[in-house]
């Protein structure tokens, strides 16, 4: 009689809570990093905040492009972890790193070479262009480090090592805050470099985070990385990553592209409107912390469940995570809205910015639950391998409804930022409804990327 065998589990197969709580801390720290950047830059001027807000909108598009490899690799790794298949993990890791490194270097070069034409799209005032050009040159030239940070983080998280990423993000935040303070105020003997100093602080913190994540991934992998895998291209492994990553990035690219178009509309309203948008989005990001973390955790958890063949559990766990996220988003949204005036006064003394921004936070009470639904359900669909439906529906809705409606309400009917926020609310709830129906249909059950794990039956 041969005993039933069971391979050791590669990485960590954990509960949704154990996967998600370190991601919650990580997402909180990432958003806090953006919040602190804006808060510190506001000491330079509202113009500096507006210009860097525009540049960050451009950078968000590049992050989406980098994220298609990171997302794809994270889903593939999580399904292989659930299915207990270790034989191809070295190849998946090496392909993901090489693809995003090459792509990151290319995007960095494009951003630096074409930064002025890109900025011209926004019709910025000359004083804003000076700030934006400086930030774009320094941070844009090193965007490949962000590409690798995203890829290495996704690989570690896909295997269940979410706490490792959390600690790295914590260190990156501490370093970034220290650098901002030192360069903006000329503290500790550092030069007072303003926007250039903020950019340099961002670059240094990313480079160090990239290095630490690479070391952690090397230590945490259950298989030895083969150097030959880094220069041998195999269509099968690259295909699995890209078949998830490209459609997933398409959905995010469409969203960020629509937001870029809306930002161009807002530039016609003036620098004060741009500053209001930046401040409002940074405050509303606090509503998104839990839904973002649940979405990322859901992707890892559902991916492992699908690989393990536990589809019924995956189906019900999505609803559980969604309900909790919606409740918390609503509670946080109400606290922020009723504290809006005091919060905006932390950034600016401009009464128009404070008044409009407070109204936007109240609209956010309705907007953000719709966004939470999108984040969580799309992450779950992506984890099952069903990545194409969200991008098709997203592109149709964003460009067929949201962008035209934002122009009509915000610019043509002259409702300004309030009209644009209403358009974005309709977008989030419309897409969330479509994603909810898709999950209920269970059509995703046939999309798995890897054969599910099965224990070896006893042999008589």
More confident residue, 434 or 18: 434
DSSP 216-257: HHHHH-SSPPPGGGGT---HHHHHHHHHHHHHHHHHHHHHHH
CA distances from 57 to 264, 308, 408 (A): 10, 39, 22
Q: Partners of 2 in the beta sheet?
A: 459
The b/e string for 400-433 (b: 16+ C-beta within 10 A; e otherwise) is: ebbbebbbebbbeeeebbebbbbbbbbbbbbbbb
Query: How much is the mean pLDDT over the chain?
Result: 82
Instruction: Give the pLDDT confidence score for residue 300 in this predicted structure.
Output: 81
Is the separation of the CB atoms in 112 and 59 below 8 Å? no
The predicted pLDDT at position 189 comes to: 85
Task: State percent of the chain over pLDDT 70.
Answer: 88
What is the per-residue pLDDT for 460? Answer: 36
pLDDT at 382 over 80: yes
How many angstroms separate the CA atoms of 247 and 447, rounded? 14
Q: What does the pLDDT look like over 397-431, one tens digit per residue? A: 889 989 999 999 999 998 999 999 999 999 999 99
C-alpha count within 13 angstroms, C-beta hemisphere, residue 85: 18
Average pLDDT estimate for 157-166: 84
Is the pLDDT higher at 138 or at 58?
Answer: 138
Two structure tokens written together for 140: 């844009």
pLDDT of 174 strictly over 90 = no
pLDDT, position 291: 81
Paired tokens of 362: 């109240």
Does the pLDDT value for residue 5 go beyond 80? Answer: no
- Strand partners for 459: 2
Nearest CA to 169 out of 182, 156, 183, 184 is that of: 156
Kindly report, residue by residue over 87-127, the tens digit of the pLDDT.
Answer: 677 777 888 888 889 889 999 999 999 988 888 888 777 87
* pLDDT tier at 222, thresholds 50, 70, 90: low
The angle formed by the CA atoms of residues 266, 271 and 277, to the nearest 5 degrees, is 55
End-to-end CA distance of the chain: 5
> In the numeric block, which tokens belong to residue 188?
């500790």
Q: Are 411 and 268 in contact (CB under 8 A)?
A: yes
Burial bucket for residue 27 (CB in 10 Å: 0-12, 13-18, 19+): buried
For 140, 193, 204, 408, 452, the CA distances from 176, given in Å and listed in that order, are 17, 15, 8, 40, 42
All structural domains of the chain with their residue ranges: 17-446
Rounded distance, CA 55 to CA 164, Å? Answer: 30
342-353 pLDDT, tens digit per residue, is 988 888 888 888
pLDDT at position 229: 63
Return the pLDDT at 205.
92
Q: Worst-scoring range by mean pLDDT, 10-14, 67-71, 211-215, 310-314? A: 10-14
pLDDT per position as a tens digit, 6-51: 343 444 445 677 777 787 787 777 767 666 777 778 788 778 888 8
Question: Which one-letter DSSP state was computed for residue 451?
Answer: P
- Pick the residue with more confidence: 457 or 275? 275
Residue that wins the pLDDT comparison between 261 and 53: 261
Q: Is residue 310 over pLDDT 80?
A: yes
Residue-level pLDDT at 87: 65
């Amino acid at each position: 009689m041969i005993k039933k065998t069971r391979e050791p589990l590669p990485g960590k197969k954990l509960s949704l809570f154990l996967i998600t709580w370190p991601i919650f801390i990580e997402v909180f720290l990432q958003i806090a990093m953006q919040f602190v950047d804006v808060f510190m830059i506001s000491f330079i001027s509202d113009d500096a905040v507006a210009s860097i807000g525009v540049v960050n909108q451009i950078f968000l598009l590049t992050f989406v492009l980098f994220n298609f490899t990171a997302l794809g690799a994270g889903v593939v790794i999580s399904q292989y972890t659930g299915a207990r298949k270790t034989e191809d993990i070295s190849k998946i890791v090496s392909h993901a790193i090489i693809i995003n490194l090459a792509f990151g270097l290319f995007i960095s070069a494009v951003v630096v070479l074409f930064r002025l034409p890109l900025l011209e799209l926004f019709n910025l005032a000359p004083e804003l262009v000076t700030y934006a050009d400086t930030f774009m040159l320094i941070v844009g030239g090193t965007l490949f480090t962000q590409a690798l940070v995203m890829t290495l983080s996704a690989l570690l998280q896909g295997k269940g090592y979410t706490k490792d990423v959390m600690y790295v993000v914590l260190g990156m935040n501490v370093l970034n805050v220290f650098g901002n303070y030192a360069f903006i105020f000329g503290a500790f003997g550092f030069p007072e470099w303003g926007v250039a100093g903020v950019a340099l602080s961002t670059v240094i913190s990313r480079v160090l985070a990239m290095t630490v994540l690479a070391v952690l991934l090397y230590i945490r992998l259950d298989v030895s990385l083969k150097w030959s895998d880094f220069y041998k291209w195999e269509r099968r492994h690259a295909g699995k990553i890209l078949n998830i990553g490209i459609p997933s990035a398409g959905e995010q690219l469409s969203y960020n592209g629509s937001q870029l178009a809306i930002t161009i509309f807002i530039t016609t309203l003036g620098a004060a409107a741009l500053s209001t948008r930046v401040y409002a989005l940074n405050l509303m990001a606090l509503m998104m912390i839990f839904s973002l973390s649940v979405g990322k955790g859901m992707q890892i958890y559902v991916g492992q469940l699908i690989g393990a063949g536990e589809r019924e559990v995956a189906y019900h766990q999505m609803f559980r995570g969604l309900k909790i996220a919606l409740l918390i988003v609503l509670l946080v949204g109400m606290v922020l809205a009723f504290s809006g005036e005091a919060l905006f006064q932390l950034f600016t003394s401009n009464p128009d910015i404070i008044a409009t921004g407070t109204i936007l936070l109240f609209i956010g009470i309705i907007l953000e639950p719709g966004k939470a639904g999108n984040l969580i359900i799309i992450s779950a669909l992506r984890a099952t391998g069903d990545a194409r439906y969200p991008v098709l529906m997203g592109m149709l809705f964003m460009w067929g409804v949201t962008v035209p409606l934002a122009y009509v309400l915000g610019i043509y009917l002259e409702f300004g930022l309030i009209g644009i926020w209403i358009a974005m609310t309709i977008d989030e709830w419309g897409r969330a409804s479509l994603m909810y129906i898709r999950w209920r249909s269970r059509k995703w059950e046939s999309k798995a990327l890897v054969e599910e794990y099965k224990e070896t039956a006893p042999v008589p």
